[in-house]
Amino acid sequence: MKLNDHKEQMLGLAEKLGIPASEFSDKLDFLNLDEIRIIDMLPEMLLMVRSVTAENAVSYLRKPIDAIKKGLLFSFQNIFNTHLQDHRTSEKHTLPQTLPHVRITPLHLTSEVIFPKGSKITQVTILIGLDFLKNFIGKDQQKFYYLFNEEITLLVEEFMSPEMADLVNNIAETPPLDVLSETYYKLKGLELLYLLFKNLSKRQHIKHQSLRGDEIAALYRVRDAISTALEKPLTPNELIEISGMNMLKLRKLFTQIFGKGLYEYSQFLRMKEAARLMQEQHLSVSETGYQLGFTNLSYFGRLFEQHFGMKPKKWKNITL
């Protein structure tokens, strides 16, 4: 499919979702839409596979979507190991390291969409009506009450489990189908949501509160700062300065969005990076620990084992 056809598809989808194409049509000129597939099953759900390369930094405000009166948007981002783009180059580590994750926002929320210059992003996005989603979840929907509370402005982000990432890659890599296309994508989309909600069910119970736009922006500044400070974790005072919040509020709202506390989130990223350094750069256990700022290698080993279920030396031998 030609790039102009991809752009027409995007503009057509925007119009259908109640977003005037005139408001961001010019932005698309700076985005290479390498791949786009839209499977429209509205009013129940819509699934889109999109691969984008940003020639220049691009941002635009995504206004409330009114094609579904009450619904949620699930954006599965930073997919790796797919033919739609090549993540094997060193470029993937020039931008802040963000692991594959899913972001959940209500359709009535205005949000800023950002494509950093040089970024290559593949997404699987699902729009789904609340009533359809509630019926799908069934009697367990009360566990996820915060997602269905229309009185609060929420944003939730969750790391993809390995099985979620595999399924997302499978969806992205499946070529367009001539027969039973909607059936295939509906089944795969619901399977993906099942895995996501299974993950969300493990989150600690906290009272969710409505978030302002400036609070969301501050929490993402903190998230990005943590992600780029793996060798020397930030101090509480530094996090307070970055966020502009007191520590009590910062901890609560950070956990509300990301499902992990500040320290837990940082250590999770450090262990993921440790696994990558041993696997991709073939660093020794001691080299990995020291590079990530651990002076006590015994503590590093215990922490790694907590996350991966095996000692780092055994992990390294398996992955060599």
Note the pLDDT tens digit of each residue in 118-134: 888 889 999 999 999 99
Judge if 147 and 221 occupy the same domain: no
* Both structure tokens of 320: 């060599």
Confidence of residue 24 (pLDDT cuts 50, 70, 90): low
* Both structure tokens of 42: 């509205």
Judge if 121 and 234 occupy the same domain: no
Give burial (CB, 10 Å; 0-12/13-18/19+) of 320: exposed
Q: Comparing 178 with 156, which gets the higher pLDDT?
A: 156
Judge whether residue 93 has pLDDT over 50: no
Question: Considering the chain, what is the average pLDDT of its residues?
Answer: 86
- 40 within a domain of the structure (yes/no): yes
Q: Give the pLDDT of residue 77.
A: 86
Q: Give the pLDDT of residue 83.
A: 41
Answer for the pair 262, 250: CB distance below 8 angstroms, yes or no: yes
What is the total count of domains within the chain?
2
- 206 within a domain of the structure (yes/no): no
- 207 within a domain of the structure (yes/no): no
Judge whether residue 92 has pLDDT over 90: no
| Highest-pLDDT range among 30-34, 176-180, 217-221 | 217-221
Judge whether residue 20 has pLDDT over 70: no
Answer for the pair 303, 267: CB distance below 8 angstroms, yes or no: yes
Confidence of residue 186 (pLDDT cuts 50, 70, 90): very high
Q: Give the pLDDT of residue 88.
A: 33
Confidence of residue 318 (pLDDT cuts 50, 70, 90): confident
Confidence of residue 2 (pLDDT cuts 50, 70, 90): low
Between the CA atoms of 124, 256, 153 and 46, what dihedral angle is there, to the nearest 10 degrees? 20
Judge if 159 and 265 occupy the same domain: no
Answer for the pair 36, 48: CB distance below 8 angstroms, yes or no: yes
Q: Give the pLDDT of residue 100.
A: 87
Q: Give the pLDDT of residue 112.
A: 75
Judge whether residue 87 has pLDDT over 80: no
Judge whether residue 173 has pLDDT over 50: yes
Do you find a cis peptide bond into 43, omega within 30 degrees of 0? yes
Confidence of residue 15 (pLDDT cuts 50, 70, 90): confident
From 166, 200, 234, the end of a domain falls on: 200
Judge if 225 and 304 occupy the same domain: yes
From 155, 179, 200, the end of a domain falls on: 200
Boundaries of domain holding 241:
213-319
Pick from 216, 266, 260: which is nearest to 238 by CA?
Answer: 266
- 205 within a domain of the structure (yes/no): no
Judge whether residue 298 has pLDDT over 70: yes
- 314 within a domain of the structure (yes/no): yes
Q: What is the mean pLDDT of residues 188-212?
A: 94
- 312 within a domain of the structure (yes/no): yes
**Residue 232: which CATH number?**
1.10.10.60
Q: Could you tell me what percent of the chain has a pLDDT over 90?
A: 59
Q: Give the pLDDT of residue 79.
A: 63
Buried b (16+ CB within 10 A) or exposed e, 65-78: bebbeebbbbbbbb
Answer for the pair 126, 46: CB distance below 8 angstroms, yes or no: yes
Answer for the pair 156, 257: CB distance below 8 angstroms, yes or no: yes
Answer for the pair 100, 78: CB distance below 8 angstroms, yes or no: yes
Q: What is the mean pLDDT of residues 226-243?
A: 96
